[in-house]
Structures are given as C-alpha cells and as structure tokens.
Amino acid sequence: MTLAVVHEKSRHAMTLVDPAHRAILCARSPFFEKKFNGDWKDRKELRFSEKRLSFSALYNLIHSFYADRLEAPVDDMESLSLICKVCKCEELRKLVDKEIVHHRFAPYKATRKLDLVESQTRFVLQGQSLPLEDRLPSALQRLLDNCLANSRQEDYCNNVPNETHRNSEDDDHADLIVKVDDRVFRCHQVILASRSEYFKARISRMVGFLEGNNGSLGLPFLEAHDLSVEAFEKMLEYM
C-alpha cells in the first residue's frame, strides 16, 4: 500500500509530500512496524511537523530504506540522527553520531574557507556498513518469510470449514493476492511491479477494481497461469 508522508513546514506554507510503502517502512524500521501494527494500521497518510523533524532528513532516511544507501548534507547530520532515533534505527544512528563527532572535531573546522567547503560536503553511507540484520536484503528476507508463512496459513484457512480468515492486521502488510494453481500467495505490488514488467502491466490495469474475487480479504487479486507453485515461490524469493 502506498502512503503519503506529509511534512507540514508551517500553517501557511506548502506541504511537502513523499510517497512510501507500508511494507518497506515496516521492514526497515521497528518504529513504523509497531505503529502500523497498532494505532496506524488504517492510515493512508502520515503527517510530521517541521518543529520536530526535518523533511530533508526524513526524506533521506526513507530513500535509504529503499536503496540501502544513505546520502545527506553534512549540515543535516544532527537532524538525521534525530529521525534515526525516532524511527528506532539504532545501528544507523550510531554511525551517523560517529560521523557528527568526526566532523565536529576535524582539524579543518578551524578555517573559515574550509568551513564553507565542508558545508557543501555530503555524507554517504553504504548498506554494507550496517550489521547484516539491518541491511536491505535481510529486511526483505524477513518480509518474504512472513508472506510465505501467512500464505500457507491462508491456504489452510481456505480448506478448513468455518476457519476464521486472517485479517488486515497481518504482519506482512501484503496488498496483493496472487493465485497459482490451488495456492494463494500474499505479495506486495511495489516489489512485483518494480522487478517484473509483466506484473507491472497487470497491476497497472487493476486500478479501481479487483481482477478476481478474494472473499473476505478484500485485497486486489491476480491469477498467474502457466506457472508451477514451486517456480512462482522461487521467483518471489529472487524478487
């Protein structure tokens, strides 16, 4: 599901909007995961105030969730540290704080001319600098594991009379059902569409309606033909 992350600069200024996906935010941030599994489970828009959080810092952090690469002006490092703390990205915050200390006490800080150069410097951090469990591949692997586990449970629910369906509080935050033979897979539109032109084309035609009927779940529904269950599961893992 696509979210609008809105940053209100002031009551009279234009708001800044950054689209994001619930599944990615939850996979990368314990703060978002807790909120979307609780108070924010039905929210389609998040609002942040400039009084507490810098939009550029929030934007750079969200971008890093997708790219596994953080880039920000050195002048924004303090704000970046704060937003990392809010989002419970502790390992990333430690690296940012370490860089803040480095720049604060760097010898060239004494020269005004070099201070001007430093103000234009950008801090770049690759995902490989983080512990393995905090990198993008590990986050997506956890998301995949949840999806496959919930898909198997959904199959069980569909085949056992009077069994209660899973509901919208599922921890995988799936926004698409793909049926292959007699199996159903809980998936994410952003991942399928970004990795496959075939699924991108099919998903783009689903706006405003459901391609199939998925009962009480109410999620968009696709049926994949000419694919075995095993092949589709391997394809999901690759994506």
Top CATH class, 136-238 = alpha beta
Query: In the structure encoding, which two tokens stand for residue 200, read together?
Result: 């991108």
Mean pLDDT, the chain, integer: 80
Task: Give pLDDT tens digits for 178-228.
Answer: 999 889 999 999 999 999 999 999 998 875 544 444 444 578 889 988 889
Task: Give pLDDT tens digits for 20-44.
Answer: 888 999 999 999 999 988 888 878 8
Contact 64, 136 (CB under 8 A): no
At 8 the pLDDT is 56
Largest Cα span, the chain: 76
170 or 76, which is more confident: 76
At 48 the pLDDT is 73
73 or 16, which is more confident: 73
What share of the chain has pLDDT > 90, as a percent? 46
In the chain, CATH 3.30.710.10 covers 2-130
Query: In the structure encoding, which two tokens stand for residue 55, read together?
Result: 């939009």
At 119 the pLDDT is 46
**2-130 maps to which CATH number?**
3.30.710.10
pLDDT (mean) for 57-67: 92
Task: Give pLDDT tens digits for 145-168.
Answer: 999 999 887 665 655 444 444 444
Query: In the structure encoding, which two tokens stand for residue 195, read together?
Result: 């990795």
Bridge partners (DSSP) of residue 46 are 5
Contact 224, 187 (CB under 8 A): no
At 13 the pLDDT is 41
